[in-house]
Amino acid sequence: MNPGLSSLNAYPFERLKELIRSTEAAPKAQINFSIGEPKHPTPAFIQQALIDAIDGTNRYPSTKGSQELRESIARWLIRRFSLSEISPDEHVLPVNGTREALFAIAQCVLDTSRANTRAQVVMPNPFYQIYEGAALLAGANPYFLSSDSGFDYRSVPDKVWRECQLLYVCSPGNPSGAVIEQDNYKLLLELSARHDFIIVADECYSELYYDESKPPLGLLQVANELGNDNFDRCLVMHSLSKRSNAPGLRSGFVAGDASIIANFFQYRTYHGSAMPLHVQQASITAWDDEKHVVENRGLYRDKFDAVVPILAKKINISQPAAGFYLWPDVGQDDLDFCRRALAQENVLLLPGQFLARDINGYNPGLNRVRLALVEKFEQCIEGATRLANII
C-alpha cells in the first residue's frame, strides 16, 4: 500500500457526516450551506450543445482534447487575462475537472528521489483538501502557510523554499474569498525563479467576484505583464463548475509552462481520462460565452447583499472580494455552533477547523464556519435569519 495513505486526514465531508449522525436536526426544512456545489441552473444553451453532440459517444476522445476546444480556451484566457498570446497547442491541456488535475499534477512533477531531503509542497491553511492529499500520496511534505491574516509568503523560512518543489495557491481563496494581489504574485514568481519550484494556481473561483470593475488577477496575467510570456514554472487551473454552473460536466483545463504541459500530457496518456467529445463541444460553447457568467455573478451579488447585513447585526462579517462563501468568526467553538445550528434551526454548516490543520497548536479555522451561498435567494435569506437567531 502507498505509505501516504496512513497520513491522510478524514475528508471534511466525512467528518461532517459524523457530526450530522450525532445531532438530531430541528423539525424544519433543512437549509444546506455546507457544500460548495452551485445550485443555479446550467444555462440551457450549454445543455443543448451537449445534447447536439451526443453522437460523439461512439468515438474515443483524445487526451489532448480537440483543437477547437483548446483554441476556445486560449481565446478565453487572452480575453479574460489580457495575455499577449498563448498557444492552444503548447500551453493548454483540457482535463476532467480541476480536482483530478490538482491531485495528478503533484504525482507528475514531484521528484522524491533526491537524497537527504523530502520535497516540500507549500499550500495555504485553510485549504482545499486535495492539495494535502496530493502531496502526501506523492511522498512529499505539506508545508502549511496560515492565510487567515493574508498571504504572508515572506514568513516562509528560506530552508522551506530551498526544498520546495511545488506551491499551491488558491485565488480567490476557498474558503475566505481573498484574492492575491500583484505584489504577492510578483514575489512568488521571483521565489520560483530563484528556487526552481512550480507554482500551481487554483483559479476555479476567478469568475465569481463582487465588483464588476475589479476582476481578480491571474497568475499567467502577472507573469505576462512581467515579461514571462513563456509562463516558466507557472500553471493555472480553471473549471466550468462555478463559472457556468456546470459541476456535472467535469470540465476544466490546465494552462501555462509548455514544458510542464508536455510532461503532464505524457503522464495523462497513462493515467488521466480523456474528456468525452460531447462534453468538449458543450465546453466550447460555455467558454465562448460571457453573458451567462455576468448574469451568474449578479445572482451571487444579490445574495451577498441580502445575507451579509442580516448576519452583521450579530457578528463581525464583511463582503468577500470573490467566491460564493462567507467565512465568519462566530466567536465560539465552531463544532458546537454547527451542532446548535443543526439542532435548533436545521441549518447545515461546515466547521472551519475541518478545512485547516493545527500548526504549532493553532488552527486558523477554529471558531469559523463556512457558509456556501449556493441555495436559492429565498433560502439564503431564511438560513441567515435562522443563524442570527442563535448567535
Q: Which CATH number does the domain housing residue 375 bear?
A: 3.90.1150.10
**Residue 24, amino acid:** E
Task: Put residue 250 in one of left, alpha, beta given phi > 0 → left and psi -120 to 50 → alpha.
Answer: left
Residue 48 lies in a domain: no
CATH for 104: 3.40.640.10
d(CA 89, CA 247): 26
Whether residue 148 sits in one domain with residue 249: yes
Residue 278 lies in a domain: yes
Residue 47 lies in a domain: no
Whether residue 64 sits in one domain with residue 33: no
Whether residue 130 sits in one domain with residue 10: no
**Beta strand 164-170 pairing with 120-125:** parallel
Q: Using one digit for the tens of pLDDT, what is the confidence trace for 316-328? A: 998 999 999 999 9
Residue 206 lies in a domain: yes
Whether residue 340 sits in one domain with residue 256: no
Whether residue 239 sits in one domain with residue 150: yes
In sequence order, what E strands does the chain have?
31-32, 92-95, 120-125, 141-146, 164-170, 198-202, 234-239, 252-256, 325-326, 347-348, 350-351, 369-372
> Domain limits at 364?
3-41+292-390
> Considering the entire predicted model, what is its pTM?
0.96
Instruction: Quote the pLDDT of residue 115.
Output: 62
Q: How far is CA 105 from CA 128, 188, 225, 235, 379, in A?
A: 15, 19, 25, 10, 38
Whether residue 19 sits in one domain with residue 116: no
Residue 51 lies in a domain: no
pLDDT along the chain (391 residues), means of 10: 90 94 96 96 98 94 97 98 97 96 97 82 96 96 85 92 97 95 97 98 98 97 96 98 97 98 97 93 98 98 98 94 96 96 98 94 94 97 97 90
Residue where a domain stops, chosen among 229, 259, 289: 289
Whether residue 120 sits in one domain with residue 11: no
Residue where a domain stops, chosen among 269, 289, 309: 289
Residue 54 lies in a domain: no
Residue where a domain stops, chosen among 256, 289, 322: 289
Whether residue 274 sits in one domain with residue 308: no
Residue 145 lies in a domain: yes
Whether residue 207 sits in one domain with residue 171: yes
Whether residue 241 sits in one domain with residue 132: yes
Instruction: Quote the pLDDT of residue 379.
Output: 97
Whether residue 211 sits in one domain with residue 313: no
Whether residue 75 sits in one domain with residue 35: no
Residue 53 lies in a domain: no
Number of domains in the chain: 2
